[in-house]
Amino acid sequence: MSTKQIFLKGIWENNPVLVLLLGFCPVLAVSTSVIDALGMGFSTAFVLLGSNLVISLTRNFIPKKMRIPVFIIIIATFVTIVDLVLKGFFFDIHKSLGLFIPLIVVNCIVLGRAEAFASKNNVFKSIVDALGMGIGFILAIAFLAAIREILGNGSILNIKLFGDSFKPVIVAILPPGAFISLGFMLAGMNKINLIKKEKEKAKKNLEKKQKQSQVG
Amino acid sequence: MGNLIIIAIDAMLISNIVLMRFLGICPYVGVSKRQGTALGMGFAVIFVMTFATVISFLIQRLILDKFGLQYLQTIVFILVIASLVQMVEIMMKKVAPALFHALGIYLPLITTNCAILGVAFLTIQKDYSFVQGLVFSITAGIGYMIAIFIFAGIREKFDFADIPKPFQDASIALITAGLLSMAFFGFAGIVKL
């Protein structure tokens, strides 16, 4: 697999949230505003990058049987760094993300990439994979947050989009709105992939026919 | 006593950990296709959640607070919970083999269940006393079981429904969870905190 393929896979084809269906908890919980979502996205991406880097560096020294606890300690260390940095420099974001910062530890995306990719590949590839997956995660969470913020608050990045006559759909900001919006997002993703598949099939069929007609 | 009842109702229904707090969504969507497995997962969560909260509470109060090591909270809690799950698994195999056979397959899944760690953190964050924390963790687990059991009951009916292709599986499950969450919203305002 080339570097570019690894990178792009994380963003679209194997998007951690929309295709692998991992890490729903933070995506649902902190997507009430785009700023919070970006904070969460970048925090998770940083942890992913750090843990992938360290794990791929040390992958030959970690005993096979002990690998999961070691991975968890490495991940928890980076989460603590993020927690302290946010608390020190971005207190507002830290307050609104709250509980979900320490919970990055149990985000299945991070442990999943450590186990499935970083423990088997070299440092450079692991970094590229972490970047791809991290950006995929940021895009997914920011997109969901944009939908919810526009519908539920009539604004994006705290800038009002509509006039005073706009009545926000408050349910979009509330917990039920999170589930329903993400459900529709997944359906949209599936639809796009289905259309793509059908197009590829049609293309293949066309090529086959052309070949047959050439032979004939 | 009244305080404890309020905590219990709040943890079970009003701020249900799955539908209102978004904790433990992965197993919620993953193992809720049949009511039997959902019930098993629910019991396993109650069991581990109570143990984990009690142990992490004691560690926080007796070790971390005493020596000013609060910044190690994340690392210590996740390690304690991960090893606790392993220990519970081994002990259960010896002491209660019947229970182990019923819950065994769900236990490893629970390590990555953010509901367990989340409730442990929440107990510390809300500054609960030991008894309050105990009640909170048990009822939060019961809330999880209620949510996953109802959800599995609905999902069993999907087999007979004609769902559009893009909506199949996770997508329709999330939308159903959204409707369920809306129903649980009706409990808001039962008690004033």
Which tens digit of pLDDT belongs to each residue from B19-39?
988 888 888 888 888 888 888
Instruction: Say how many domains are in chain B.
Output: 1
pLDDT beyond 60 at A148: yes
Q: Residue B29: inside a domain, yes or no?
A: yes
Looking at the domain assignment, is residue B129 inside a domain?
Answer: yes
Choose among B106, B109, B104, B76: nearest CA to B90.
B104
The range of the structural domain enclosing residue A18 comes to 3-212
Question: Is residue B135 one of the residues assigned to a domain?
Answer: yes
Say which residue the tokens 């499935």 belong to: A116
Crossing angle for the helix pair B170-185 and B130-156, nearest 10 degrees? 130
Model confidence pLDDT, tens digit, residues B151-187? 999 999 888 888 888 888 889 999 999 999 999 988 8
Q: Give the per-residue pLDDT at A50.
A: 95
* Nearest residue of chain B to residue A106 (CA atoms): B112
Q: Which residues does A67 contact at the CB level (< 8 Å), separation at least 6?
A: A115, A119
Range of the domain at B109: 2-185
Contacts of B114 in chain A (CB under 8 A): 25, 103, 106-107
pLDDT recorded at residue B29:
84
Q: Does residue B160 form part of some domain?
A: yes
DSSP alpha helices (H): ranges in chain A? 3-8, 24-29, 34-58, 67-89, 91-97, 108-113, 123-153, 175-215
* Cα A154 from Cα A33, distance rounded (Å): 11
Identity of the residue in A24, A183, A184 whose CB atom sits nearest the CB atom of B25: A24
The whole-number pLDDT of residue B150 equals 93
Residue A158 φ/ψ, nearest 5 degrees: 65, 10
For residue B192, being part of any structural domain is answered with no
Spell out the residues 6+ positions from residue B60 whose beta carbon is closer than 8 angstroms to its own. B73, B124
Mean pLDDT of B12-18: 89
Can you give the length of chain A in residues? 216
pLDDT of residue B192: 66
B74 vs A25, A105, A177: nearest CB: A105
Mean pLDDT of chain A: 89
pLDDT (average), residues A151-163:
82
Inform me whether the C-beta atom of residue A186 falls under 8 Å from chain B C-beta atoms. Answer: yes
Q: In sequence order, which ranges of B31-129 are alpha helices (DSSP H)?
A: 35-59, 65-67, 73-95, 97-103, 107-110, 114-125
For residue A131, what pLDDT is reported?
93
Q: What is the pLDDT of residue B45?
A: 87
Q: pLDDT tens digits, residue range A1-58?
A: 788 888 888 888 888 888 888 888 889 999 888 999 999 999 999 999 999 999 999 9
Query: Across chain B, what does the average pLDDT equal?
Result: 87
Alpha carbon distance B50, B27 (integer Å) = 18
In a domain, B118, yes or no: yes
Q: Is the pLDDT of residue A76 over 80?
A: yes
At how many degrees (to 10) do helices B114-125 and B73-95 cross? 120
Amino acid at B94: K
Report the domain count for chain A: 1
Q: Judged by CB atoms within 8 Å, which residues 72-111 of B form the interface with A? A: 72-75, 77-79, 82-83
Q: What is the mean pLDDT of residues B46-61?
A: 91
Residue B104 lies in a domain: yes
